[in-house]
Structure 1
Amino acid sequence: MNKQLELDYSFGYVFDKSKLIVMYPVGSNIINEDEYEMEVEVAFLEDGIEKAFEESDIKEANEIIKPLEMFLMKPSKVIPFVTNIKDASTKEELPKLIEEFDKEYKIKESFIKKGYEVKDVYHVFENVVNYIPKENLDTLNILKIESDKFDMESFIKTTKKNLDEAIDESLIPIKMIKSSLTDRLFIKSDDKDTSAKYIVFATDMSSYSQGILCANKKIIDDLDIDMGDLDISKSIDIGYLVEDVDGILTFKIANFNSHTENNNQVAQIVDYSGIFKTMMIEFVNEFLK
């Protein structure tokens, strides 16, 4: 009987801010040793995950990784890897073959040279605090306004009126408190004295119509628009994270998730917001005194 090789595959989720590649195992393939051609396997991976793997496998992996995005932001890319080559019968690892494979498939080595760590997904979940990037989020302010020069009352009142078809006005605004883990994350708070609030700008209309309803009264029908790092769904909308610091209002763009897996309601500040940034700045500027 011909000797067989077992190749283990993983998806590598690249989190640039943390200089981290998170490996999620997606199965194995067994082939006869005399049919194994390293160049063919490398070409298979270079086709990318969409062409090389089943859609169901990709969807499952993405769902598992999703909670990490709350702390590490969205991965910049997902790269397929062969993580191990073994004797299919004895399960003995064959380090020489995987070394040769990595030498030919240079992606992992390239990232390591740039200072990236390659870690197993379960390790990262257990130690996620160690991988949260240290950032200066002041650069993500889309506006800074003296509080006495901004009509917050009218801003909130107009937002409620323009979104009343889609959102209960009692949810505008939502008091928030900054997470102790990362400055990007704010959690819904019952503390009336908190200086941070989330004010929705755009919400999904799929429960009764099509498209995205915005607080400036615009309806976006094209769901293939550039949304940057933002998401939108029945439980996730787009809005402002507003903080009042010593009489200065800072506005950042955030996603608000009304139903996380652990039943929290959280706002996450994003880097890039596509077409929404200009619209959201213009809307705020309407309420300058």
Structure 2
Amino acid sequence: MSGIEDPTELYPDGPFPEQHQTQPGLTDATTPTPDHGESTYVGHGLLVGRKALITGGDSGIGRAVAIAFAREGADVAIAFLPEEQEDAAETARLIEAEDRTAVLLPGDLRDEAWNTVVIERTVDALGGLDLLVLNAAYQAERQNLADVSTDEFDRVMKTNLYSQFWLTRTAEAVLPTGASIIVTTSIQAFQPSPDLFDYAMTKAAQVAFVKALAQKFGDRGIRVNGVAPGPIWTPLIPATGWDDKVQHFGQDTPLGRAGQPAELAGAYVYLASAAATYVTGAILPVTGGKPL
């Protein structure tokens, strides 16, 4: 039975050390360091010649997807906040180590005009765009609704929803037949936590976005799907504002631990690749056994 691994034992099951970060969280300040597949992901040429844009591609799930796409043969542009430049530079280094082109696009996706620029610069730098991964997100713990200002509510909505609309609206004109759009939604769309109510709202809306656009773009041969992660250990978690929840993060899953970004990469590669040519409008759960 060699080669078969126990998924409950692949990564530490906690507790995680107590830690706090401000938004946006950074990889070097996250303990233990998330596994993005740097030393484990092996490509098989599934995305040779493809041209990808990944929002939030500097760290966490976005970095894992960027590594996997590059090792599968794709060139990759990543959009990120300027404060995340150090993380983005490391992701670019990992992409370029595979002899693929890396394009860094620092800016704030809450700015409508910047979303148009992101698409334009990606197309200019890569010579096109056929894989659009809408992954950037913001969340914060909410103790009481009265404590959530309109500005803070706007931050969640614009980062998680408006930007996805703005990017897709611009990309629609340049995406070719055979292109794939992949949205990072969440188990929160189906099992919302009270202290993440606004984040959960956006994730539920993203599911509707996926299902609607799959129908709208189907006759053009453009597939639209989503990945719904469960509790995944990324810099976003210690930057959410939790205390004891960070220490016990992910232990309530059937597998008994949090997932790592590397464990999601294959889902995105599958949805982007020719293996999924008849898959559109789907939400693929990667939740450690938590049901959608």
User: Given the two structures, how large is their TM-score scaled by the length of structure 2?
Assistant: 0.25
Structure with more of its chain in strand, by fraction: 1
- Which protein has the larger Cα radius of gyration, Structure 1 or Structure 2? 1
Q: Choose between structure 1 and 2 for higher RCO, CA contacts under 8 A separated by at least 6 residues.
A: 2
